[in-house]
């Protein structure tokens, strides 16, 4: 399968191109004033590498563009670029492609598709209960049970959001660039903030994992993802896997599952008509 996966987050947009299920490239674009131009250029670059449909009378590109988005304004930018530059339509998860995992939450449509696709991707590999901790603009720690049901999770501020909140809500605390602290006890204000945010994140993750384990009766596998995860991974001995770009893999899994279920349904309809 040839697929361009677009993961639209709150701060960045990731574009991955898969040719015959092999990842050819993955780019992360900042969500600033350059997004439109960078996204346009990246999509054109990916589309130029897409092979043509074999034996077609006219040259037709053999690929689909599938997206997951938590930011509607950027979704509109993506759809406009795809129509203008590629002459194609975007297949949006949750709208054109069904959610890839069964849920046990009150309203599945309120859950960000980024959480659901990473959960589906993790369960597809583990095939058992699994915790997915995504350290991005926000930190989400979610649980999928042993039956593959997304049962919910927690949402808290990411590193940058928390650091900005401290700066904006106080008179003298500075804005800091997040990094692993030198020691647990900060020798200056910036290091004290880094230490507080760092060990708060570690404590939150370990506590939530333990609570989830108590809930299901055993300690499940833990998968860490997201840009902020690389800061804490060294001190997360209880984490089984670190997969930086799990969401784009989840987009591929979601679309493949949709095609499989659609083909199964079409086959059943054909059998019914034959009877």
Encode pLDDT of 51-108 as tens digits. 988 877 788 899 999 999 999 999 999 999 999 999 999 999 999 999 999 999 999 9
pLDDT of residue 225 exceeding 70, the answer is yes
* Domain housing 56: 3-92
Q: Do the domain assignments include residue 275? A: no
Encode pLDDT of 266-275 as tens digits. 888 777 777 6
Q: What are phi and psi of 25, to 5 degrees?
A: -160, 160
Is the same domain home to 106 and 241? yes
Q: Mean pLDDT throughout 13-23?
A: 94
Closest CA to 158 of 98, 230, 223, 108: 230
Is the same domain home to 176 and 222? yes
Is the same domain home to 138 and 63? no
Is the same domain home to 87 and 110? no
Kindly list the catalytic residues: 114
pLDDT for res 272: 74
Q: What is the CATH number of the domain that holds 56?
A: 3.30.420.40
SS3 144: strand
Is the same domain home to 197 and 152? yes
24-33's contacts with Cβ under 8 Å and 24+ in sequence apart are: 24/49, 26/245, 26/248, 28/227, 31/71, 31/74
Quickly count: other Cβ atoms within 10 Å of residue 271's Cβ: 9
**Number of domains, the chain:** 2
């Amino acid at each position: 399968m040839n697929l361009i996966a677009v993961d639209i987050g709150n701060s960045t947009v990731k574009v991955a191109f898969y040719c015959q299920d092999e990842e050819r490239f993955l780019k992360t674009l900042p969500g600033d004033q350059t997004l439109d131009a960078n996204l346009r250029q990246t999509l054109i670059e990916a589309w130029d590498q897409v092979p043509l449909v074999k034996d077609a009378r006219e040259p037709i590109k053999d690929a689909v563009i599938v997206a997951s988005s938590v930011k509607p304004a950027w979704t509109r930018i993506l759809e406009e670029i795809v129509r203008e530059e590629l002459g194609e339509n975007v297949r949006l998860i949750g709208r054109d492609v069904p959610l890839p995992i069964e849920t046990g939450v009150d309203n599945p449509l309120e859950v960000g598709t980024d959480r659901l696709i990473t959960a589906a991707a993790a369960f597809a590999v583990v095939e058992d209960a699994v915790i997915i901790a995504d350290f991005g603009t926000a930190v989400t720690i979610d649980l999928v049970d042993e039956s593959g049901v997304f049962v919910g999770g927690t949402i808290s501020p990411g590193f940058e959001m928390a650091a900005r909140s401290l700066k904006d809500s106080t008179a003298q605390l500075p804005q800091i660039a997040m990094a692993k602290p030198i020691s647990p006890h900060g020798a200056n204000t910036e290091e004290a903030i880094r230490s507080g945010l760092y060990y708060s994140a570690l404590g939150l993750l370990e506590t939530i994992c333990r609570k989830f384990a108590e809930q299901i009766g055993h300690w499940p596998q833990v998968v860490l993802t997201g840009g902020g995860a690389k800061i804490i991974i060294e001190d997360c001995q209880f984490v089984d896997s670190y997969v930086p770009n799990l969401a784009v893999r989840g987009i591929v899994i979601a679309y493949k599952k949709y095609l499989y279920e659609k083909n199964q349904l079409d086959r059943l309809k054909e059998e019914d008509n034959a009877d």
